[in-house]
Amino acid sequence: MANSAKAMIEIDSERTVYGASGRLPVWAALAVGALMVAVLGVIDYATGSEISFSVFYLAPVLYVTWYGGFRAGFFVALASAAAWGIIDVAAGARYSIWLIPMWNAATRLGFFLVAAWLLQALQKANSRVLALAHTDSLTGLANARSFYDYLEREILRQRRYGSAFTLAYIDLDHFKEVNDGYGHAAGDVVLRSVGMCILATLRESDVVARLGGDEFGVLMPATEAVTANLVLARLQAEISVSMRTSAPGIEGLGATVGAVVFQDAPHSADAAVLAADEAMYTGKRAARGSLQLAVWPR
């Protein structure tokens, strides 16, 4: 079963949050954090107890949490709180009873952990916002914006490596009758079921998007004409079954598919989608429920 485009979007969003190289290995983040704590401890001890160095101990905690996750941040928070307390005593701080430095260390640890938790919550919220910006809210598929991004990347890959890819434009037949006969809620059920049907039929490497209304886009990397024709014909049959199951009693339910196999890179993503859209409308004019496959360059 193909992975959902939503999952791919969440992966891209996570990479955006953590940087181009993604999340650091935990051991690397911990190593950097430990080094930061050690350097801060040396500087703190050298400056003496009169100068407050407290805010700087937060830096390694936040760094490790950002790149290594909350669990790694917890250990650095523990190390920072312990180092801060030990250096306070070593630098000459005096307390009336021995419980005070322990209380201070626990308070500092709590402060560090709250800061680390808030940072992690911010990361997750940011990832969700980025994912929603690239996801169709009804079907959970990629939206048009995200689909164009994937398509642009595929065009760049083809210009570099030369492998053909296929772009399909799918329009549902007689979908208006579903809304008119059963209501828009039933239409939404049909759209969701079609989206899941497409995902279940295609490969994990393929990208599926709802482009708007009852129109879907499919990007199949490294796919030549013979394979594309077989896969899309099977997909077309599965969509028809899915629609008839979701909205029984309406005649002619199915999909018209227009597809283009790009043996050479198109000028842009817009040009590629336009070519697939034209193939789909050629099929609509010929007969609904048809599959039109073209090859680029013509």
At 171 the three-state DSSP class reads: strand
Domain extents in the chain = 5-133, 144-296
212 vs 298, more confident: 212
Please tell me the distance from the alpha carbon of residue 263 to that of residue 163, in angstroms, as a whole number.
Answer: 7
**Beta pairing class for 291-296 and 254-262:** parallel
What pLDDT shows up at residue 276?
97
Q: Which of 6-20, 102-116, 148-162, 163-177 comes out lowest in average pLDDT?
A: 6-20
Letter for the amino acid at 94?
R
What pLDDT shows up at residue 38?
93
Give me the percent of the chain exceeding a pLDDT of 90. 67
pLDDT over 60 (residue 1): no
Which residues, in sequence order, are CB contacts of 224 under 8 Å at separation 6+?
A: 164, 166, 261
- The per-residue b/e assignment along 166-187, b for 16 or more CB within 10 angstroms, e otherwise, is bbbbbbbbbbebbbeebeeeeb
What confidence tens digit (pLDDT) does each residue in 34-57 have? 999 999 988 888 887 667 777 899
What pLDDT shows up at residue 287?
85
Kindly indicate the confidence band of residue 25, based on its pLDDT and cuts at 50, 70 and 90. confident
First to last CA, the chain: 33
DSSP type of residue 24:
P
What confidence tens digit (pLDDT) does each residue in 193-210 have? 999 999 999 999 999 999
What confidence tens digit (pLDDT) does each residue in 102-147 have? 888 899 999 999 999 999 999 998 888 877 788 998 999 999 999 9
**Helices and strands (H, E) in the chain, number of each type:** 10, 5
Enclosing H/E stretch for 217: strand 215-220
Q: Can you spell out the DSSP letters for 49-101?
A: TTS--GGGGHHHHHHHHHHH-HHHHHHHHHHHHHHHHHHHHHTT---SSTHHH
Q: What is the pTM of this model?
A: 0.68
Three-point CA angle 48, 51, 54, nearest 5°? 105
Please tell me the distance from the alpha carbon of residue 34 to that of residue 45, in angstroms, as a whole number.
Answer: 16
At 211 the three-state DSSP class reads: strand
Q: Which residues pair with 294 in a beta bridge?
A: 260
Q: Which of 35-39, 110-114, 149-153, 286-290 comes out lowest in average pLDDT?
A: 286-290
Decide if 214 is catalytic.
Answer: yes
| Of the options 3.40.50.2000, 3.30.70.270, 3.40.50.720, 3.40.630.10, the CATH number for the domain spanning 144-296 | 3.30.70.270
The secondary structure of the chain in percent helix, strand, coil, rounded to multiples of 5, reads 65, 15, 25
What pLDDT shows up at residue 192?
96
- Mean of pLDDT over the chain: 88
Which residues, in sequence order, are CB contacts of 73 under 8 Å at separation 6+?
A: 61, 62, 64, 65, 116, 119, 120
What pLDDT shows up at residue 91?
67
What pLDDT shows up at residue 12?
46
Q: How far is CA 32 from CA 17, 76, 293, 296, in A?
A: 19, 10, 54, 51
91 vs 209, more confident: 209
Kindly state the average pLDDT of the residues 144-153. 95
pLDDT over 70 (residue 187): yes
Q: Which residues pair with 189 in a beta bridge?
A: none
- Given 44, 88, 171, 214, the catalytic residue: 214
Kindly state the average pLDDT of the residues 175-188. 93
126 vs 282, more confident: 282
Q: Which of 44-58, 61-75, 148-162 comes out lowest in average pLDDT?
A: 44-58
